[in-house]
């Protein structure tokens, strides 16, 4: 158990840090902020600020729409974290003085064809069986909420508690909050844990965690597009749209500044090349759902790497045989939505030495029997379709060959 210094006690740069966080993405920065706010001496190692996962992620906070078959424990963690987001956003805004782009209009899930709607309804039935708030809507009810939807859309549902935040605003805000709380950035790469000298090391390095820890974290490529409404206008829709369009699954996230994020592919690849085919598929599906997008400016095409695991769930807690090293990685497409709960659980573990029961299903030890080869293998829950991409979780994409993939100080 680590005990913090008094808030009035200055940070002594010569003292051994209590906590070293490897990786300055949303997860790493939030952990650093929470630990520093408790009076611990915290350093954050990251050599390339702003170039990782969150710079590409869409920032959907979608525990309901992202509740999939066979992932009940993960769904529980998503719901627990999403419930913390309103207070987390308020606290972070106050601590940083920055806006986060946090919006609460909710999410519409829509289907273009009968087959699309049948697939969506199967998932809604499962989600409703879990007691999740998802309400089916008729086409007229959908258009009452979003008149810009294409006339051919056959139906949909509303997930009112699935919100959004802008990761490109979130990361700078977390950096400011962490630094104001006393966390110190160290702009150097960490190639081995032996290079880190602290009483506790937290590895929040995204895909880079595999090389540092031997854990089975693999890169999952995601390609997304950023559009902008013409003439400085706001987008013609308010809700996040998650759509099925002739079998292609996509999401559209509107921002108050006129930006629309359109994503995303899910590819078992480790390159970050943007391909013409992916751009074509995403644009075609997006325009099929919202025809006005054809008139928007295409301002960015980008690809990055999410940190995936064999069971699609994060890896949280002490590494077997190394109680002084905690993993906080493998969030795949859920990094943004899981930021508050991950930060709280890891900070609690650091300060109390007691693991919250929420951590139990996500302990690193669940992969020990898999052996070192499993880090490059696609797990049983891997998804290869385009729609389940860099969402909240998506959060969670980054560049190639980087030690700390989650994100960097910016």
DSSP state letters, 257-312? TSEEEEE---BS-------HHHHHHHHHHHHHH-GGGGGSEEEEEEEEEEEE-TTS
Residue range 19-98+165-219+310-376 forms a domain whose CATH class is alpha beta
* Six-digit token string for 123: 């998932």
Which of 30-34, 275-279, 366-370 is predicted least confidently? 366-370
| CATH fold group of domain 107-162+220-305 | D-Amino Acid Oxidase; Chain A, domain 2 (3.30.9)
pLDDT higher at 267 or 410? 267
Question: 161-186 burial, b if ≥16 CB within 10 A, otherwise e?
Answer: bbbbbbbbbbbbbbbbbbbebbbebb
pLDDT at 50: 65
Q: What is the mean pLDDT of residues 201-226?
A: 96
Give the model confidence (pLDDT) of 174-196 as tens digits: 999 999 999 999 999 999 999 99
Which of 22-36, 262-276, 376-390 is predicted least confidently? 376-390
From-to residues of CATH 3.50.50.60 in the chain: 19-98+165-219+310-376
Provide the CA 166 distance to its chain's centre, in angstroms. Answer: 11
Give the model confidence (pLDDT) of 289-339 as tens digits: 999 999 999 999 999 999 999 999 999 999 999 999 999 999 999 999 999
* Six-digit token string for 139: 């086409």
The C-alpha angle with vertex 125 and arms to 123 and 130, in degrees rounded to 5, equals 100
| In the predicted structure, residue 15 carries a pLDDT above the cut 90 | no
CA dist 165 and 89 (Å) reads 9
* Six-digit token string for 3: 């005990």
pLDDT band with cut points at 50, 70 and 90 for residue 372: very low
Q: What is the mean pLDDT of residues 50-60?
A: 84
Are residues 382 and 268 in contact, defined by beta-carbon separation less than 8 angstroms? yes
Q: What is the mean pLDDT of residues 53-70?
A: 93
Q: What is the mean pLDDT of residues 60-73?
A: 96
Q: Which of 345, 124, 129, 349 is nearest to 242 (CA)?
A: 124
CA dist 220 and 396 (Å) reads 10
pLDDT at 12: 57
Other CB atoms closer than 10 Å to residue 307's CB: what's the count? 35
Provide the CA 157 distance to its chain's centre, in angstroms. Answer: 23
Helices (H), 130-227: 139-145, 167-181, 209-213
- For tokens 């206008």, what's the residue? 233
pLDDT at 2: 77
pTM confidence score: 0.88
* Six-digit token string for 75: 């769904």
User: For the chain, how far is it from start to end, CA to CA, in angstroms?
Assistant: 31
Q: Which of 220, 224, 221 is nearest to 281 (CA)?
A: 224
| In the predicted structure, residue 407 carries a pLDDT above the cut 50 | no
Q: What is the mean pLDDT of the chain?
A: 88
| In the predicted structure, residue 82 carries a pLDDT above the cut 80 | yes
Are residues 199 and 324 in contact, defined by beta-carbon separation less than 8 angstroms? yes
From-to residues of CATH 3.30.9.10 in the chain: 107-162+220-305
- CA 291 vs CA 98, 176, 241, 254, 284: distances in Å: 34, 39, 13, 15, 10
């Amino acid at each position: 158990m680590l005990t913090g210094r008094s808030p009035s006690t200055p940070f002594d740069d010569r003292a051994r840090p209590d906590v070293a966080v490897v990786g300055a993405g949303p997860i790493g920065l939030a952990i650093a902020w929470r630990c520093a706010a408790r009076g611990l001496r915290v350093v954050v190692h990251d050599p390339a600020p702003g170039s990782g996962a969150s710079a590409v992620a869409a920032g959907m906070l979608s525990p309901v729409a992202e509740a999939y078959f066979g992932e009940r424990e993960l769904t529980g963690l998503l719901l627990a974290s999403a419930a913390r987001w309103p207070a987390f956003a308020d606290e972070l805004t106050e601590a940083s003085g920055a806006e986060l782009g946090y919006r609460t209009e909710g999410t519409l899930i829509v289907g273009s064809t009968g087959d699309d709607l049948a697939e969506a309804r199967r998932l809604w039935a499962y989600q409703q069986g879990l007691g999740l708030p998802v309400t089916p809507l008729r086409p007229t009810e959908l258009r009452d909420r979003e008149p810009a939807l294409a006339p051919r859309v056959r139906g949909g549902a509303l997930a009112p508690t699935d919100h959004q935040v802008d990761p490109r605003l979130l990361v700078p805000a977390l950096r400011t909050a962490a630094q104001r709380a006393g966390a110190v950035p160290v702009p150097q790469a960490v190639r081995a844990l032996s290079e880190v000298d602290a009483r506790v090391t937290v590895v929040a390095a995204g895909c880079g965690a595999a090389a540092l820890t031997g854990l089975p974290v693999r890169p999952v490529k995601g390609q997304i597009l950023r559009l902008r409404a013409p003439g400085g206008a706001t987008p013609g829709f308010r809700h996040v749209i998650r759509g099925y369009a002739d079998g292609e699954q996509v999401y559209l996230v509107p921002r108050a500044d006129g930006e629309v994020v359109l994503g995303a592919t899910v590819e078992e690849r480790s390159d970050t090349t943007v391909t013409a085919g992916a751009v074509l598929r995403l644009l075609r599906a997006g325009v099929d759902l919202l025809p006005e997008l054809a008139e928007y400016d295409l301002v960015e095409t980008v690809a990055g790497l999410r940190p995936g695991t064999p069971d699609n769930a994060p890896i949280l807690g002490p590494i077997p045989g190394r109680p002084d090293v905690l993993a906080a990685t493998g969030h795949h497409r859920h990094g943004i939505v899981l930021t508050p709960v991950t930060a709280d659980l890891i900070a609690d573990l650091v300060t109390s030495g007691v693991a919250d029961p929420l951590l139990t299903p996500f302990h690193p030890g669940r992969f020990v029997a898999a052996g070192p080869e499993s880090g490059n293998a696609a797990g049983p829950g891997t998804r290869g379709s385009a729609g389940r991409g860099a969402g909240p979780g998506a959060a969670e994409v980054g560049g190639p060959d980087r030690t700390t993939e989650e994100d960097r100080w910016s």
